[in-house]
Amino acid sequence: MTRLIVVSNRVSAPVDPAAGSAGGLAMALSAALRKYDGLWFGWSGETVETFTGELTVEDRAGVTVNLVDLEAQDVDEYYNGYANKTLWPLFHHRVDLTAYERSYGEGYERVNRRFAETLAPLIQPDDIIWVHDYHLIPLARDLRRLGVTNRIGFFLHTPWPARQLLVTLPHHRRLVESLFAYDLIGFQTQEWLDLFRDYVISEVRGELAGYGGLEAFGRRVRIGTFPIGIDVDGFVQARDSREGVRTYDRMAASAAFRSMIVGVDRLDYSKGLEERMLGYEQFLRDHPDLRGDVFLVQVTPISRDEVDTYQDIRARLDSLAGRINGEYADMDWQPIRYLNRSYRRDQLAGIYRAARVCLVTPLRDGMNLVAKEYVCAQNPEDPGVLVLSRFAGAAEQMGEALLVNPFSREEVADAIHRALTMPLKERIRKWRSLMKVVEDTDVGLWRDAYVGALKSVEIAGQNGDLPHAA
């Protein structure tokens, strides 16, 4: 039987299916593995003095995970360095924050090679391998060098950068060339796919090769868009669970007849958190009559706190939230509740359901599953309104949201006001359209579309050439 092997930097399959990250990616991959027998391979999050490649095997809610420890130097150069200080800001169009250090690139290559050497003995002849995200771009190349001829696919969860920005990366050509060791490259949106294709054709003189194919570096790869979704049935169950209902009741009571606005984002400069708070402040300034009638709950779990830029943005957000509360708060009202902690998925579902408005305003984002979770959590008879950045991947699908330019505080403020005053009939119409998108892009459909496309790829011939897409 064909197994599915999922590979990612961190293995985040939750022990408790009701718990999950704000965006729900862990739930998405876990759902995929529960349908297709196999395993999830990645870094344990732990460090050892000397890398050994020794594996720890666990069962997490029906998902087999294989974990490997890394050296402290690996974490510093590969994860904190190249992944989070080089590729992440570059892929989100923040060249001003991108660090180009030779040691980071060396660590990135070293860890991908170590992942390949540890993973290769686990691979059986009929397995298909699904590699996730920018941390592991060279992994297929390193597996091929070890003789692995299985179908290998890659899915990018972030945006792909514009060619004019990508060429600022030292050895950018080598990075892109390594992607051609995959059989299938998946992107969240047509925009990210078009940017990748533009680089290949313009920079390395690649060519289109049939439907959905690209040829360059003497190899051919299939490319496609596979917009990720959420586990709709699982999220509805979480929403209607005892804890989900209890959280909704608590938040509704806490609102005290006020309208609640919610934002749920990992702490990151790509999420537009400062711009969101400034837009909300503009709304308070423009509509003094509504002060006291509305409040913002911003849930922002801390992430990547070892990276300087994340420490900086945390300090700025703390200061900004404090300043807005200091200027506008009253004895019985605080305009912003800023929470630096994580919540379970069932609790988030209750929070979403209680919110009249959800602000999803990234400056650039691969998809953004919070937008889909918020829609899924709503009461069909009295739904809230989604305010969505046009620079989120979800905007390509969710045109019935109130699309905004997050760089314009006035535009964000106007959207908040429109959302709060939108008639019930219009809210229901918009919600029905958005909910159809959520259901039509359910994680099960995403999973089946990607795995089906990968299964259809022709494997290598007997001449030892690298595999290529049909």
What gap in Å lies between CA 424 and CA 409, rounded to an integer? 26
How many other CB atoms are found less than 10 A from the CB of residue 356?
Answer: 19
CB 19 within 8 A of CB 345: yes
Confirm if 469 and 222 have CB atoms less than 8 A apart.
Answer: yes
**Are the C-beta atoms of residues 268 and 89 closer than 8 Å to each other?**
no
Instruction: Quote the strand ranges of 192-348, DSSP E.
Output: 207-208, 213-216, 219-225, 259-264, 294-299, 336-339
Nearest partner of 42 among 16, 22, 19, 12, judged by Cα: 12
Is 404:416 a contact under the CB 8 Å cutoff? no
Helix (H, G, I), strand (E, B) or coil at 231: coil
Show the DSSP H helices in 50-179 as ranges. Answer: 72-74, 88-91, 102-119, 139-145, 163-166, 172-179
Would you say 11 and 40 are in contact if contact means Cβ atoms under 8 Å apart? Answer: yes
Please give the full DSSP string across 375-402, using - where no structure is assigned: HHHS-TTS--EEEEETTBGGGGT-TTSE
Nearest to 292 by CA among 336, 337, 333, 251: 333
| Burial of 121 from C-beta contacts in 10 A (0-12 / 13-18 / 19+) | exposed
Beta bridge partners of 68: 43, 55
CA distance 184 to 198: 17
Residues identified as active-site: 157, 365
Residues whose CB falls within 8 Å of the CB of residue 267, separated by 6 or more in sequence, listed in order: 273, 300, 301, 302, 303, 304, 310, 313, 314, 317, 340
